[in-house]
Structure 1
Amino acid sequence: MKVDRADLTRAEEVGLLQSGQAEALWSFLSMQPQTTAQFRFAHILYYLGGMIAIGAMSLFMTVGYQTWGPVSLTVFAGAYGFLAWWIGVWFLNAKQLPIPAGILFTLTIVLVPLAVYGIEAALGHWESGGALYSDYHRYIDWRWLLLELATLAAAAVMLWRYRLPFMTMPVAVTLWYMSMDVAAWIAFGVENDAADWTYYDGLWNLRKLVSLGFGLVMLIIALRIDLTTRHDKRDFAFWLYLFGLLAFWGALSCMDSGSQLGKFLYCLLNLGLIFISAVLARRAFAVFGGLGVAGYLGYLSWSVFRDSLSFAFALSLIGLAVVFAGVWWNKHGEALGKKWRRQLSPQLAELIESRT
């Protein structure tokens, strides 16, 4: 729940606060450091600047690699990462600004695979079918695995030391990338040319299964982190939920159901994601679940019941039923959900109550 100055004034007017306490309390709250990201203009500038810096490294370091060689790549990445870390520590300790500090620490983590790539390139690891570092974000190759493991190790150390939520973003992205690179490695081993892997249907099917499994594991880890940090206002699980859903739902949506029953089960799974969104108070589940349900209804409209007037009326009735279900849930859902969550898991109940 968000509290603004007007809320405190009304509390003072009805006698919950004594005269003058509203102003003193508001001054105290305003002086507290902002630890959670919101859509404020300063926060937008923080993240915009961070993303520009992160993106620039891939472009600049690739040009530097072509100009000065792989050793310079590692040196520049290390120096730039140290500078980002040093400024982040200054923001955190001297200025009490955890959000820009977290962005700079994230930049430090993102530079780790770049430094490892430079070392590998200097040792001749990329001489056969060598890809540039700019291909890291679009090219599937088992040789990226060492970069990904180094990134995860660096992120683990940084999170253990500083515990800022945005640093989980490179962890989530790296795990997502790893799901695809591991699939290629399992399918064809280290002796095959990576350039040929993307042309095999078997790899595509395996990649979907591995991505599905990775996404599900990532969601379970995110839930565990959510429960463990339920008393902390900082959201450490957001990025893991987002990329876990991207891996799980993306793989699920790319699979061929093979029958109407399979497509209907796909719709039910997406409805389940919407239900999980209500239980966990996580909008990301509702977004992906809503896209899946909309895709299924679009399939019915254009492929199964095309030009069917009765289906249009039936779909309208379903929509109205959903609206009335929302009205009923708005009235009774909070009490029922609280009771159900308490019976299922007291920790889950604490998590949701603290968030809502």
Structure 2
Amino acid sequence: MLLKREDLQAAADAGVLDPREIDGLLSFLTRRELQAQHGSARFSATHILYNLGGMLAISAASLFTTLAVEALGMTALLVLSVLYAIAAIGIAAMLEKRGFGIPAGIFATLAIALVPLAVFALQHVLGFWAEGPNTEHYRNYHAYIDGRWLMMELATLVAGSLLLCRFRYPFLTMPIAVTLWYMGMDIVPALMMQAGIGSEEWYVGEASQLRKLISLVFGLVMLALAFAVDLRTRRGKDYAFWLYLFGLLTFWGALSMLGSGKLAGKLVYLALNVGLVFIGAVLGRRVFAVFGGIGIAIVLGDLSWNLFRDSFVFVLVLTLLGFGLIIVGLWWSRHEAKITARLRATLPASVRELLAARS
């Protein structure tokens, strides 16, 4: 509710408020409204500027500036990255104390993003990367899948967890989720290296299938972790969004690469993506529906192309599929509340409470 001086004066005239308290109360409410605007995650111009500036700072710290800093040597890179992280934590604490929640979370996130850079430089200083291919530049961390990145990822997870305990802002889960996504890819080469399988064999034959299966399982673990976090924080802020997003990237990406191209496998893939859509509907998480919808479109388009290639029937089938999905959407919109209520009635009380809170 937006209060004006006239409202407070009317309350004073009615005997509800002491006239001498009008100025102090109005000043207090104005400061509180400004802090709420800065601290709440609203889709506004201020919010956009905060996040855009934060992403640019993170990119500059973790990617682009390393090209220049590496020229000064890894010792300088280590010192500067640590100092940069300490400064980011200090600024985050200062902003939090003043009630600026969103920028405080962004600076704390910047500190987490600097951890793999600092560990990378420390490993070089200690000589661990002397013989490692693709490890000369930090930018390769974001470009190449390699089991040797695991130490950087583990350090980032530890630091991210500690900072998340100190600065309780959902945005801090973003670099943690990205690191888990990277780890889901890098853990496979690490295991294969331990098994004596060379890098040239990672993407062929049984090793390739094993790599995809491990990534698939890792994605499922991330999704289970996201759901556990969602349950634990159901009465407060949404800390699970980024974990859901990158867990689905890991799981759905591996799922999409599996299979031999046979019809049975495509139908199973189609059924799993339909399941993702329904999970998204039940949990109220649109990200499931997005990935599931993309998977459904891929399968239906592939089947239509292979069955009706070079035929006008292909256009007709795609059109009918499009109309069919629209009809299903219309039917779902009419019965969504009833179906959702019945599905949720079968769930445990804690899950129903989560869904009600997120709704």
What TM-score do the two structures reach when normalised by structure 2? 0.84
CA distance in 1, matches of 2:323, 2:307: 22
Structure 1's 42 and 32: CA in aligned 2 closer, same or farther, altered over 3 A?
closer
- Distance in 1 between residues matched to 2:297 and 2:313, nearest whole Å: 19
2:189 is aligned with 1:155: no
Match of 2:174 among 166, 169, 174: 169
Does residue 1:298 correspond to 2:301, yes or no?
A: yes
Aligned with 2:139 (options 124, 134, 143): 134
List alignment gaps of at least 5 residues for structure 2.
Answer: 3-25
Aligned partner of 2:295: which letter? Answer: G
Tell me, yes or no, if structure 1 residue 179 matches structure 2 residue 187: no
- 2:355: which partner in 1? 352
Aligned partners of 2:349 and 2:332: how far apart in 1?
22
Call closer, same or farther: CA 1:301–1:275 in 2, change over 3 Å.
Answer: same
Q: Deviations over 1:65-122 (max 9, x none)?
A: 2x2211111100010011111111111112x111111111010011111111111101
- Rounded Cα–Cα distance in structure 1 between residues aligned with 2:68 and 2:35: 43
Correspondent of 2:106 among 98, 103, 108: 103
CA distance in 1, matches of 2:95, 2:344: 40
Match of 1:278 in 2: 281
Deviation at 1:181, TM superposition (A): 1.2
User: Would you say 1:120 and 2:123 are equivalent positions?
Assistant: yes
- CA shift, 1:254, in A, is 1.2
Partner of 1:20: none
On the 8 A contact 1:113/1:148 being kept in 2, the answer is yes
Structure 1 residue corresponding to 2:94, chosen from 78, 90, 95: 90
The CA distance in 1 between the partners of 2:42 and 2:285, in whole Å, is 16
CA contact (8 A) 1:184 1:203 kept: no
Report percent identity of matched pairs: 46
2:345 to 339, 342, 345: 342
Q: For residue 235 of structure 1, give the secondary structure of its aligned residue in structure 2.
A: coil
**What is the identity, as a one-letter code, of the residue corresponding to 2:253?**
G
CA contact (8 A) 1:187 1:206 kept: no
Question: Is the contact between residue 164 and residue 172 of structure 2 (CA under 8 Å) also seen in structure 1?
Answer: yes
Distance 1:352 1:179, change over 3 A: same
> Helix, strand or coil: the match of 1:160?
helix
Aligned position for 1:249: 252
Q: 1:28 Cα deviation (Å)?
A: 10
2:291 pairs with one of 288, 292, 296: 288
How has the CA–CA distance of structure 1 residues 310 and 185 changed in structure 2, closer, same or farther, with 3 Å as cutoff?
A: same
Larger Rg: 1 or 2? Answer: 2
Whether the 8 Å CA contact 1:144–1:181 is kept in 2: the answer is yes
Contact preservation (8 Å) 1:245, 1:288: yes
The within-5 A match list for 1:231-270 is: 231-232=235-236, 234-270=237-273
1:50 to 54, 64, 67: 54
Q: How many residues align?
A: 330
Residue 244 (structure 1) shift = 0.5
2:74–2:125 contact (8 Å) kept in structure 1 = yes
Residue 319 of structure 1 deviates from its aligned partner by 4.4
**Contact 1:141–1:184 (CA<8 Å) still a contact in 2?**
yes
Q: Secondary structure at the match of 1:178?
A: helix
Structure 1 unaligned blocks of 5 or more: 6-23
Name the structure 2 match of 1:80. Answer: 84
User: Alpha carbons of 1:27 and 1:319: their partners in 2 closer, same or farther (altered >3 Å)?
Assistant: farther
Q: Secondary structure at the match of 1:344?
A: coil
Contact 1:184/1:197 (<8 A) preserved: no
Tell me, in whole angstroms, the C-alpha distance in 1 between the residues paired with 2:91 and 2:205. 47
Q: Distance in 1 between matches of 2:32 and 2:239?
A: 23
Pair 1:229 & 2:209 matched: no
* 1:329 to partner: Cα distance: 3.2
Residue aligning to 2:66 = 61
Find the aligned partners of 2:82 and 2:276 in 1 and give their Cα distance. 42
Cα separation, partners in 2 of 1:301 and 1:128, compared to 1, 3 Å: same
Deviation per residue, 1:171-208 (Å, 9 max, x gap): 111111111111001112297776x5666555433321
Change (3 A) 1:199 1:345: closer
Q: 1:117 to 1:353 in 2, by over 3 A?
A: same
Structure 1: which 4+ aligned runs deviate by more than 3 Å? 26-32, 190-194, 196-204, 307-329
| Rounded Cα–Cα distance in structure 2 between residues aligned with 1:62 and 1:50 | 20
Paired with 2:146 and 2:326, the residues of 1 have a C-alpha distance of: 47
Contact 2:216 2:255 in 1 (8 A): yes
Alpha-carbon shift at residue 43 of structure 1 (Å)? 1.3
- Residue in structure 2 matching 1:211, options 212, 215, 220: 215
* Residues 179 and 207 in structure 1, CA contact (< 8 A), matched pair in contact too: no
